Amino acid sequence: MKILIVGQGISALTCAKLLLLNGWQVQIMSTSSYSKPTLVLNPMTYNLLQNIWSIDLTAISYQFSRRKVLWAEDLITHDNGGYTIEGDTLQKYLMQNLHSFHHKDISTQKHQGKLDFNHLLKTRANKNFWFINASGREKKTSNNTHTTNSYGNRLIVSFNVKLRKESETCWTETTKNAWFFLAPSTKKTGVLQIMLPKPNSNFKELIEETIFIKDQIESYYITAKFKAFPQISFPLYGKNWSSLGEAAMCFDPLCGDGTGYAIKEALLTTAIISSIAKGIPFEDCLNHYKYRLCKTFIVHIQNSLEYYMKAFTSSIWQLEIQSMKKIIHHPEYHKAINYNFNYTLVGNQDLKQIEISKNTPLTKKKNDKL
């Protein structure tokens, strides 16, 4: 079976890598070229990425040693640190890896404009083919059957900053109007992101409202604005296709590990495709995939709500909070919460046999405890 992946973000490229390791032929089709944001990875995600790709990211990343969080009135210091990596640099690095080590089994193609999703499936209906839509939040594919469920309207404004002094600290801070995230990308530069419930161009005033972050910044310039509210799309799969990454669901940056979620989705997608090929029933595999994603998304919304309700009381932020609370009315909510997972993701150390396996009474009892 051949795999066509539309998209070239972290989830798409990592899924391609895993599928290639598991013996599939992969075609990557990119639909747009846009600047990728700077990524901030926790140590677990950083190491997972290195292990999957068998690469050393030291040369293209910057390590910071601590995190300081002022959320509402609570100031917390974490000594676990993390890493910053330019998104464009990482994408090029991973793409080079694919072509260097898997040139016989991978091909790439650029496509201008939106892909006609239904036409693509129809023309390949009789072929041994699987389509993965990893085209991002804006979904660079045309598909009338998709419904996107959004929970808010908030946005991120991103800046490159010059720091007043050398720093190995990543900062998160709330004010009454916004929350801020500042991570060093070198000893003297960093990336600043401001989460806003609605557009606001008075950035100087917003930054001056902070207690700690304003003292870290010497100068700044805006680099991007992008949507940052959580959303999930249905259906998540169909006959010979599945969605992946932000084409499937988008997390609030508050989670702090969007890249980690993307990598785990890529692992699960690879396991599902391999398991279908080995004869596990199609619906069993894809329902497992669907409800794993749904349950993860619901827990993410619930966790985000706790933080937003603690930090923000203004009417505009209350609209964001009420929007997230609406998730309990989604028809998939109770199904996901109560779904009985009969399979477990398994694989060997070299990631060449990733699949899902039927739970035994022992593993089911263990999973129930988790």
Contact between residue 227 and residue 252 where contact means Cβ atoms under 8 Å apart: no
Confidence check: pLDDT of 365 > 50? no
Between 3.30.420.40, 2.60.40.1180, 3.40.50.10070, 3.50.50.60, what CATH number should domain 2-33+87-146+235-334 receive? Answer: 3.50.50.60
181 backbone dihedrals φ, ψ, rounded to 5°: -135, 120
pLDDT at 274: 95
The string of pLDDT tens digits covering residues 193-251 is 999 999 999 999 999 999 999 999 999 999 999 999 999 999 999 988 999 999 999 99
Average pLDDT of 159-178? 96
The share of the chain scoring above pLDDT 70, in percent, equals: 93
Closest by Cα among 252, 347, 257, 330 to 291: 330
The string of pLDDT tens digits covering residues 250-297 is 999 999 899 999 999 999 999 999 999 999 999 999 999 999 999 999
Q: Are strands 179-184 and 169-174 parallel, antiparallel or unpaired?
A: antiparallel
Q: Domain extents for the chain?
A: 2-33+87-146+235-334, 39-85+154-228, 339-369
77's tokens = 């210091």
Confidence check: pLDDT of 46 > 70? yes
Alpha carbon distance 149, 368 (integer Å) = 29
The string of pLDDT tens digits covering residues 111-138 is 777 777 777 777 776 667 899 999 888 7
pLDDT at 322: 97
- Cβ of 93: how many Cβ atoms within 10 Å? 17
pLDDT at 235: 94
Q: How far is CA 144 from CA 17, 60, 116, 244, 250, in A?
A: 30, 40, 10, 18, 20
Model's pTM, two decimal places? 0.93
Question: 39-85+154-228: what fold?
Answer: D-Amino Acid Oxidase; Chain A, domain 2 (3.30.9)
The share of the chain scoring above pLDDT 90, in percent, equals: 80
pLDDT at 298: 96
SS3 of residue 48 by DSSP = helix
Closest by Cα among 190, 168, 207, 172 to 68: 172
